[in-house]
Amino acid sequence: MFGDLSIKVKGADCGVDAILLAIITSIGGFLFGYDIGQISGTIVFDDFVHRFLFNGSPTIKSLLVSFFSIGCLFGALAGAYTSDWFGRRKSIALGVFIFIVGDAMQVTATKSWIHLTMGRFVAGLGIGNLSVGVPMFQSECAPREIRGAVVASYQLLITIGILFGNVVCYFMRRHEQDSETWRLVIGIGALYSIPLGEKARQSLSRLRGKSKDPSNVLVENDMHEMREVLALERQTGNASWIECFSLKSRVPKTRYRTFLGMGIHFLQQWTGINYFFYYGTTIFSTAHMKDPFLVQLILGAVNVATTFLAVYLVDKFGRRWPLILGALWQAVWLMIFASIGTATNHLTSVPSSYGVVMVLSSCMFIASFAATWGPIPWIVMGETFALRTRAKQASLATAANWLGNFLIGFLTPHADRGLSYAFGYILASANLAAAAVVWMYLYESSLLSLESVDIMYSMHDIVPWESARWVPPGYVTRRVRDEQRFRRLSIQEMVEMANKDASVKSDENAGQNAGQRSQV
C-alpha cells in the first residue's frame, strides 16, 4: 500500500503498514467501546425506559447492561478454539459477524426486555471472541520494537468508540421520546467490519517497511524466529484446559502465569472504569449536574486524549511501573470522588464547586486508566503466556476480564441504591490490591521478543521487581542483538544457555558467600 515507506522506531525499521495493522484490527475494540458509550445514554432515553425498564427497575437495568459482558465471557472462552481452529484472522471475522447478528436482534426488540437482553448477549459473544483474537494477532505480527504501541491501539479504539457513542447519544437526546432514536443509536455499531488478510512474509515485509525487499535481513531474522516458534509448537502440541492450572505442565510456571493473567484482567475492571462509563449519565444525574450527557462527553474526550499518551508510555517506561503508579493514582481520586459525593448526597442544594471537583476527580481517574490500566493488561496478555498454552490462557484471562465487567455492570445499580457514592471506596481498595499484585507477580516484558519473555518466566532466580534488568542470551541489551552469537542459537539453545548462565551465577554467589563466612 505504501511501498517502502517506513519509520525508525528505537533504531529499527517499522513500516507504516504496521500502523494500519493496528488500526484495522483494533476496530474490534471500537465496537466494544461504542457499546459502552451508547448504553450509558440509551438507558435514560424516555422511550427506551418506557419500553424496557419499567420506569427504572434496577434489576432489569442490571441484567440488560451486564448480560453483554456475560456474552463476552463465553465468547472469550470460545475464542481459544476459534483462534486455533480457524486462525487469528478468520476468528476475528467470525466475531464481527456474530456482533452484527446481536445488534440486529436488539434493533428489532419492541417491548420485551428479554428479547433486548438476549440481543446484547449475542453481541457480547462476538466482542468476547474479538477481545481474544485481536490482541494475540497484534502481538504475534507486530515488530517487537512497537508491539506495546500496536496492542495499545486496541484500547485506543475502545476509547474512541466510547467517545463516539457519547457523541451520538448527546446529539440524539433531543429525540429521546422516539423509538427510532435508540434503534438508530444501537444500529450504528453494526456498520463496521474488519478487513484482514496477507501472506506471512508479505505481512512482515510491510510491517518492516520493506515490501519490495522481503529478503531484507530484518525480515529474515523475524522469519527465522517464527520458524523456530512453529517448530516448537509442533513438538509441544496444544495444551488442555487442565494443563493451564497444573503444577506438572511441560511449560514452566504455567499455573502462575494463568492466575497472573486472570488476576490482572479481573482487576482491570474493578479499577472502576465502567462504573463511570456504563452508568455515568445516571450517576451525574443524581449529583445535581445540569447536563449529565455533556459531563459524559467530557469524560469520553479525556479518555481518548490520554490513551494517545499510553501509546508512548508502554514502550518507553515498560509495563510494571505504569501499572503500579496508575493504580495508586486512581485510588486517590476515587476516594476524593467518593468522599465529596457521600458528603453532599443528601443535601438539597450543593455548591457548584463540589460538582466541579467531582467531575475533575472523574477526569483524573479516567486519564490515568486510559494511559495505564486500559491498554497495558491487553499487552501483558499477549506477552506473558507460552506458545503451547497461549490461546487458552489468553481466553481465560479475557474471560476473567469480562467476569469483572459483568459484576460491575450488575452490581452498580444495586450499590448505587444501597451504598451510593461510598461504592467508590470499594473500587479504591481494588486499585490498591491491583498495585500490590503487579509489584509482587508481574515480570517486565518490554522490548523482549515473545520467545525471550517465555525464557524469562522459565528462570528460577529472577524475581519480578528485578526483572527489568534481565537480558536474554544472544543479546547485549534488550535492544541490541549480538548477531554472530544469535545466528548460531535456536530458541531451545537460548533456553539452555539462559539456565546455564543462571546456574553459573548461582554457583558464583554461593562461592562468594562461602568465602565471606570463612573470613568471619
Please give the residue that has the higher pLDDT: either 119 or 213: 119
Query: Is residue 59 over pLDDT 50?
Result: yes
Name the residue among 245, 425, 260, 409 with its Cα closest to residue 339: 425
3-state secondary structure of 112: coil
How much is the average pLDDT of 209-238?
54
Query: Average per-residue pLDDT in the chain?
Result: 77
- Cα–Cα distance between 356 and 117 in angstroms, integer? 35
φ/ψ of 271, rounded to 5, equals -65, -25
Q: At what angle do helices 27-42 and 292-316 cross, to 10 degrees?
A: 160
Q: Count CB-CB contacts under 10 A for residue 472.
A: 23
> What is the rounded average pLDDT of the residues 73-92?
78
Burial class for 24, CB neighbours closer than 10 Å (0-12, 13-18, 19+): middle
What is the rounded CA–CA span in Å between residue 311 and residue 477? 22
Please, is 195 exposed, middle or buried when counting C-beta atoms within 10 Å of its C-beta (0-12, 13-18, 19+)?
exposed
Measured distance CA(351)–CA(354) in Å, rounded: 6
Place of cell 467476569: 403
Indicate the pLDDT class of residue 195, thresholds 50, 70 and 90: very low
Instruction: Reply yes or no on whether the pLDDT at 388 is more than 50.
Output: yes
Confidence of residue 23 (pLDDT cuts 50, 70, 90): low
Which residue type, as a one-letter code, is found at position 222? D
Three cell numbers written together for 6: 517506513
Beta bridge partners of 282: none
Q: Beta-carbon neighbour count of residue 136 at 10 Å?
A: 25
Residue 54 scores a pLDDT above 90? no
- Greater model confidence, 331 or 345: 331
What pLDDT, on a 0 to 100 scale, did the predictor assign at position 366? Answer: 93
- pLDDT confidence of residue 382: 78
Predicted pLDDT of residue 97:
86
Cell of 469: 534488568
Q: What is the pLDDT of residue 122?
A: 94
Alpha-carbon distance of 164 to 170, in angstroms, equals: 10
CA 458, 462, 468, 469 dihedral sign is negative
Cell numbers describing residue 221? 531474522
pLDDT tens digits, one per residue of 483-516 = 555 555 555 666 666 666 556 555 555 555 555 4
Quick one: pLDDT at residue 348? 67
- Residue in the structure block whose three cell numbers are 528462570: 459
pLDDT band at 517 (very low <50, low <70, confident <90, very high): very low
Region for residue 349 given its phi and psi (left: phi exceeds 0; alpha: psi -120 to 50; beta: otherwise): beta
Q: What is d(CA 115, CA 105) in angstroms, rounded to the nearest whole number?
A: 7
Q: What are phi and psi of 14, to 5 degrees?
A: -135, 120
Q: In the structure, what pLDDT confidence band is assigned to residue 230 with cuts at 50, 70 and 90?
A: low
- The pLDDT score that the predictor gives to residue 496 is 66
Highest mean pLDDT among 85-99, 179-193, 196-210, 296-310: 296-310
With a CB cutoff of 8 Å and minimum separation 6, the contacts of 217 are: none
Gap between the Cα atoms of 446 and 428, Å rounded:
27
Give pLDDT, residue 11: 46
pLDDT, greater one: 433 or 79: 433
Least reliable range by pLDDT among 39-48, 230-239, 264-273: 230-239
Alpha carbon distance 369, 375 (integer Å): 8
Select the highest-mean-pLDDT range: 40-44, 251-255, 300-304. 300-304
Lowest mean pLDDT among 36-45, 219-228, 456-465: 219-228
In this predicted structure, the answer to whether residue 204 has a pLDDT above a threshold of 60 is no
Is-contact 36 30, C-beta < 8 A?
no
pLDDT, one tens digit per residue, over 399-437 is 899 899 889 888 888 887 777 888 999 999 999 999 999
- According to CATH, the topology of domain 6-441 is Growth Hormone; Chain: A; (1.20.1250)
Summarize the confidence of residues 225-249 as an average pLDDT: 68
d(CA 161, CA 131): 14
pTM here is 0.73
The per-residue pLDDT for 76 is 85
State residue 105's pLDDT score. 93
Domain range list for the chain: 6-441
The lowest-confidence range among 81-90, 207-216, 269-278, 294-303 is 207-216
Tell me: the pLDDT tens digits for 317-328?
Answer: 889 999 999 999
The CA dihedral of 90, 319, 248, 404, to the nearest 10 degrees, is -70
- Grid cell locating 194: 474488519
